[in-house]
Amino acid sequence: MTRQLRSKRHLKHSLGRSKVQSLLRLTLTLLVASVVDFTVINILPGSPGQVILGTQATPQKVAALDKTLGLTSPIYDQYLTWLRDLITMKLGRSYVSGSHISEQITQALQVTAPLIVGGLIIGIALSLPLAFLIYLLRESRSSMLVALILDLGVSTPSFILGLVLTYIFAIRFSALPASGFTFWSTSVTGALRSLVLPSVALGLVEAAIISRYAKNLIEEVMNTPYVQAARLRGQSETQAFLHHGLRNISAPLVTVVGLEASGLLVGAVVVENVFGLPGVGTLLLNAVQNRDLIIVQDVVMMAVTLVCTINLLVDLSYKRIQPGLRDEIL
Amino acid sequence: MKARDKKRLYVIAILGIALLIGVGSYSIGRSSPTNPSSKTTATLGKFQPNSTVTIGSEVFPVTLNPTANASAAIDEVIDYNVLQHLVELDPKGAIIPVLATSWKVSKNNQVYTFQIRKGVRFSNGDPLTAQDVVFSMNRVFASGSTYPYGKLFDVSSVTAQGPYTVSVQLIQPSWEWLFNLAAYSNGVIIDPKTVGTLATDPIGTGPYKVVSEVNNYSITLTRNQRYYGPSARAKNVIFRYFSNPSTEDAALESGQIQVIDNLGTPSEVSLFKDSPRYKVITGPTNGKVQLTLNNSYGPLSNVLVRRAIAYATDKKAIIQVASGGYGTPLGSDSVPADPYYLNLSNTYTYNPTKAKALLIKAGYSHGFPLTITLPPYPYAQLAGPLLASELNAVGIKVKLSNVQWPLWISQVFEGGNFQATVIDHAEARDIGNYGTKGYYWHYSGTAQVSKMLAMANSAPTQKQWVAGYRAVLRKITDAAVNDWLYILPQITVTSSNITGVPTSGYSESFNLSYIGVGGKISTQATTMGF
């Protein structure tokens, strides 16, 4: 009894310590990422002054503008200023447009956040039944067909899928808007309508990817002794999977979904482009084009923070889903 | 249900999904113009005074302040439509009075005196006075000015001679200054009280005013009720931005937008040109698409080699490939709207044999390696491979290198670190570049041209000025400084009931003065090129 208690206390203690460690690791990763982000973007050629003033401007004018923009101060100085502004969340203004960067990012997130969540929900909602279907069909001839469709799904870029969906649902049947976004403040249903096709385009491809992982996980779990036992108790395949299999594949599945989250970010950039959505991807692409370096740096940093945080959450979530794994990952 | 039945059910479900995909692809194959339900007649219909016209465009203007950034995307929306000049260009390229009703030129082409239009108000109600004009024009060349383009800086003083009279003294005589005032957005007249909000809410005297803006997405203009002229034909004009041309086309096909301002890739025309639901309007621009030659790069410093390259390129074929057959062959740095235009497109008619002979004469019988740097624009990407094969045919071993726009700016334009590149010189009357010291093509006759241009500008009559500029055109064409290919076309597509669209792109502004739904525009507007 006492031994058990002690080990529990020990576990609690080490859990707390591991959380601190994880957080430290996250901070360190972000710091390194910020250096890389800043360096890479600032060694890219092309002076913002020249892009702003055009090809007919005199070199003197360009140099003067670069100076006004603070681009001539020492590079470490620029980095430290930027870092300070990031930490204090005072993102300041874009020096190309003069608009508040935080406003621009908030606006873009209104599009991208629901898009990614929608894509993820559609992806997960479709992938599990699909993977289970494949499991049920294994050994039959039609499994080839499903595998083919899945391969097709994995290899179809979301922009092709987006164009197909646009043609069917927007041009042929005028059921949904072909592109663009109605902001939440204007109309909630309008916003949802404009996100349906993009989320589906993002989610279908995601579903194909996740279900390939899920397929293997399901096959494995359905061959375990405890599922066999459930079968012997008279449970059908579906019952056995839902009652005994699902929870056991959750942990590795969450890992896959977590890894895919960064993939979704990239996918969102493409989908936003195809559907003309003013999201984070569009913001980033336009900022790169306009040499709006601060916005590029900020958006990249935001994405890095997001992905790292998701990974941390995935790590932590294991322990909740499958307590048995605690010792392995600590 | 038996397990086998179940399996059969699954198979049926999968086949169903496959069928759906099949139907989808089929409906794409049959593009919507053949869709019977959406067929409309080509009639313009009745004029709709409360209409909203949505225009699809590709580059979102990073700010609405044309005095702080050279982006043509700003000028497209704001210039002429919201902020106006004393004089502007009509779509055909002629200088027309706008906020000035008349002007006088004196003292050897060095002093311009304008009569300012009376009864004009800014959209916020402030009246337009000579002081506003003086303020706006002084702001261009004031110290610390961030005005782009390098135009209209050649002014020594601007003074109000009365409540409605302003005179401008130039540093040196110029026959180009009035044109620059009309063509470049540096000439906008602003309300001094509203300088602080230029980036988001420019207040002007034009037919439209800005209502709202959604970053990277759209800009909404509405009729300016205080406009001094006939009120705008459309109640609202919305510019919507697409980074993907296919999405833009789909938006037009599904009716979300009514106009595509300029098709990025001319091949898209085939989607629209045979359908009665759309109108395709094409016209010239100031854009000179050229194979820029770095005159300081070994073989290219030899005039014979440069001429050989000009002979070796088939301009008509390049227009077919890069511009879908739209566009006019070019022979020098000038377009027909320029008063000094000369058609020199036949100076070096396509003749590979002659090109080879010239290369031999220049001592390059075995050719030489040449890297053509291509910016990411469709015309350059499309023209590049054809240019390469044409030049390869005469023995020049071409390598193509693709770069992003910022890299092009820094490496090619700022650094002059290139051998050849394909680029559209979009600015109007930019022959002055040939007299600009250190300009990226490193022409050896720069100093001479600079002198010739200055001489021409101080000529007492326009005729002599034109003659002087023509001499420059002949000189640079004779030296084959660059290989001028063709004039970039503007290709606008609209729904069939849209009227009053500008037919050419001689100004950066997409002139909205007459755009509307249905009805007919006046004959006067038609003669101006709407």
Q: Residue A271: its chain B contacts at CB < 8 A?
A: none
Per-residue model confidence (pLDDT) at position B12: 56
Whether B192 and B322 share a structural domain: no
Bridge-based pairing of strands B259-260 and B52-57 is: parallel
Taking the C-alpha atoms of residue B404 and residue B498, their distance in angstroms, rounded to an integer, is: 36
**CA–CA dist A116, A260 (Å, integer):** 11
Q: Which residues have a Cβ under 8 Å from the Cβ of A181 and sit 6 or more positions away? A: A111, A191, A194, A195, A276, A277, A278, A279, B217
Clarify whether residues B309 and B181 are in a common domain: no
| Residues of chain B with C-beta less than 8 angstroms from the C-beta of A144 | none
B421 assigned to some structural domain? yes
Interface of A with B in 166-185 (CB under 8 A): 166-168, 170-172, 174, 177-181, 183
| Residue B347 within a domain | yes
Superfamily of domain A107-283, CATH level 4: MetI-like (1.10.3720.10)
CATH of the domain at B170: 3.90.76.10
DSSP letters for B318-349: HHHHHHTT-SEE--SS--TTSTT----TTTT-
> Considering CB atoms only, which of A145, A168, A180 is closest to B24?
A168
Mean pLDDT score across all residues of chain A: 83
SS3 state of residue B420: strand
Structural Rg of chain A based on CA atoms? 25
Would B11 be classed as within a structural domain? no
Gap between the Cα atoms of B435 and B291, Å rounded: 19
Under DSSP, is residue B209 helix (H, G, I), strand (E, B) or coil?
A: strand
pLDDT digits (tens, 9 = 90+) for A191-206: 999 999 999 999 988 8
CA distance A233 to B318: 76
Per-residue pLDDT, A18: 74
Please judge whether A142 and B433 are an interchain contact, meaning their C-beta atoms are less than 8 angstroms apart: no
Q: How far apart are alpha carbons A41 and B113 in whole angstroms? A: 49
Which two three-digit tokens encode residue B162?
A: 């009365």
Helix (H, G, I), strand (E, B) or coil at A136: helix
d(C-alpha B452, C-alpha B105), whole Å: 22
To the nearest whole angstrom, how far is the Cα of A219 from the nearest Cα of chain B?
Answer: 17
The total of structural domains in chain B comes to 2
Question: In this structure, is the dihedral angle defined by the CA atoms of residues A163, A165, A167 and A170, taken in order, positive or negative?
Answer: negative
What pLDDT is recorded for position B41?
Answer: 41
CATH number at residue B379: 3.10.105.10
Element (H, E) at B529: none
Q: Which of A133, A165, A172, A269 to mutate to test the interface with B (most CBs of B within 10 A)?
A: A172
**Closest CB from A44, A54, A273 relative to B243:** A273
Closest CA to A104 of A114, A116, A92: A92
- ipTM of this predicted structure: 0.78
The tokens of A143 are what?
């499994």
- Looking at the fold, whether B452 and B331 belong to one and the same domain comes out as yes
Is B215 within 8 Å of A278 when comparing Cβ atoms? yes
- Choose among B2, B5, B10: nearest CA to A236: B2
- Cβ of A179 within 8 Å of Cβ of B71? The answer is no
Q: How many angstroms separate the CA of residue B19 from the nearest CA in chain A?
A: 12
For residue A3, pLDDT over 60 is answered with: no
Whether B238 maps to a domain, the answer reads: no
Question: What's the CA gap between B241 and B264, in Å, rounded?
Answer: 13
Residues in A touching B411 (Cβ below 8 Å): 45
CA A193/CA A177 separation, integer angstroms: 7
In one-letter notation, the amino acid at residue B289 is V
How many CB atoms lie under 10 A from the CB of residue A202?
A: 28
Give bridge partners of residue B100 from the DSSP assignment.
B116
- pLDDT for B26 equals 46
Task: Specify the higher pLDDT residue, A136 or B309.
Answer: B309
Token reading at A43: 């060694």
Each as own residue / partner, the long-range contacts of residues B151-157 (CB below 8 Å, 24 or more positions apart, any chain) are B151/A56, B151/B180, B151/B184, B151/B186, B152/B177, B152/B180, B152/B181, B152/B184, B152/B186, B152/B187
Domain range spanning residue B368? 284-488
Report how far residue A322's alpha carbon sits from residue A313's, in angstroms, rounded to the nearest whole number: 14
Cross-chain Cβ contact A50/B410 below 8 Å: yes
Tokens of A41: 């973007």
Q: Which residues 133-152 on chain A approach chain B with CB closer than 8 angstroms? A: 133, 136-137, 140, 142, 145-146, 149
Last residue of a domain, one of B170, B199, B228: B199
pLDDT at A168: 87
CB neighbours of residue A3 within 10 Å: 7
Confidence of residue A155 (pLDDT cuts 50, 70, 90): confident
Cα gap A134→A128, rounded to integer Å:
10
- Give the residues across from B425 on adjacent strands: B288
Decide if A45 touches B, using CB distance below 8 A.
yes
Instruction: Pick the residue of B37, B62, B200 with the most A CBs within 10 A to test the interface with A by mutation.
Output: B62
SS3 state of residue B453: helix
**Last residue of one domain, picked from the residues B152, B169, B199:** B199
Are residues B199 and A98, on separate chains, in Cβ contact within 8 Å?
yes
A40 interface with B at CB cutoff 8 Å:
no
**Shared-domain flag, residues B350 and B461:** yes
Residue B55 covered by a domain: no
Which of B19, B38, B215 should be substituted to probe chain A, the one whose Cβ sees the most A Cβ atoms within 10 Å?
B215
Q: Which of A101, A109, A168, A171 to mutate to probe the B interface, most B CBs <10 Å?
A: A171
CB-CB neighbors (< 8 A) of B69 in chain A? 52-53, 96
A273 vs B contacts (CB less than 8 Å): 243-244, 247
What is the average per-residue pLDDT within A92-98? 79
* DSSP 8-state class, residue A45: S
Share of chain A above pLDDT 70, in %: 91
The answer to whether residues B330 and B451 belong to one domain is yes
Q: What is the pLDDT of residues A224-252, one digit of tens each?
A: 888 888 888 888 888 888 888 888 888 88
Mean pLDDT, 10 residues at a time, chain B of 530 residues: 53 55 47 38 76 94 90 93 96 94 88 96 96 95 85 92 95 91 95 92 96 93 96 96 89 93 83 91 93 96 97 95 91 94 95 96 95 93 96 96 86 92 92 93 96 92 94 97 95 95 92 94 90
* C-alpha to C-alpha distances, A181 to A107, A125, B228, B271, B375, nearest whole angstrom: 11, 24, 35, 25, 31
Looking at the fold, whether B421 and B308 belong to one and the same domain comes out as yes
Q: Give contacts of A171 with chain B, Cβ < 8 Å.
A: 32, 250, 253-254
Contact (CB<8Å) A52/B69 = yes
* Per-residue confidence (pLDDT) for residue B464, from 0 to 100: 94
Q: Which two tokens stand for residue B58?
A: 């590709």
Comparing A105-114, A170-179, B516-525, the range with the smallest average pLDDT is A170-179
More confident residue, A62 or B233: B233
B70 vs chain A: nearest CA distance in angstroms? 5
List CB contacts of B453: < 8 A, sequence separation 6 or more: B431, B432, B435, B468, B469, B472
A42 interaction partners in chain B (CB closer than 8 Å): none
* Residue whose C-alpha is closest to residue B27's, from A165, A214, A292: A165
Distance CA B259, CA B249 (A): 10
The answer for residues whose C-beta is within 8 angstroms of residue B106's C-beta and 6 or more apart is B113
Say how far apart CA B514 and CA B512 lie, in whole Å.
6
Q: Do both B291 and B173 map to the same domain?
A: no
Among A314-318, A319-323, B62-66, B231-235, the range scoring the smallest mean pLDDT is A319-323
Predicted pLDDT at B21 = 54
Q: In terms of pLDDT, which residue wins out, A141 or A319? A: A141
Q: Are both B323 and B179 inside the same structural domain?
A: no
Contact predicate B445/B479, CB 8 Å: yes
Alpha-carbon distance B132 to B204, whole Å? 11
Contact A283 B411 (CB under 8 A): no
- Contacting A residues, span 186-205, partner chain B, CB-CB under 8 Å: none
